[in-house]
Amino acid sequence: ADSQTNFVLATSIEKAAKTVYEALVERNIFIRYFPLPALEDKLRITIGTPEQNDKLLAALTEIIG
């Protein structure tokens, strides 16, 4: 069956998830980081408004390169 959510669970490959999380917090962009062994490379990103999503993508491009 199909499921629906308002978030994406993303794997951070280029940089440690905690590093990406902290860099986003410095930019007042708040996502969820899980300091648990099974999820330590994951980031939970809630789908926002188009403007919020654009801000997130621009910040991720800047952080990750």
Confidence of residue 55 (pLDDT cuts 50, 70, 90): very high
Token look-up 């905690």 returns: 18
CATH number of 7-64: 3.90.1150.10
For the chain, what is the radius of gyration of the CA atoms?
12
Strands 42-46 and 32-33: antiparallel
Residue 1 scores a pLDDT above 80 = no
Q: Round the average pLDDT of the chain to a whole number and report it.
A: 94
Domain boundaries, the chain: 7-64
- What is the secondary structure of 23-56 as a DSSP string? HHHHTT---EE--STTTTTEEEEE---HHHHHHH
* Contact present, 28 and 63 (Cβ < 8 Å): no
pLDDT tens across 25-42, in order?
999 999 999 999 999 999
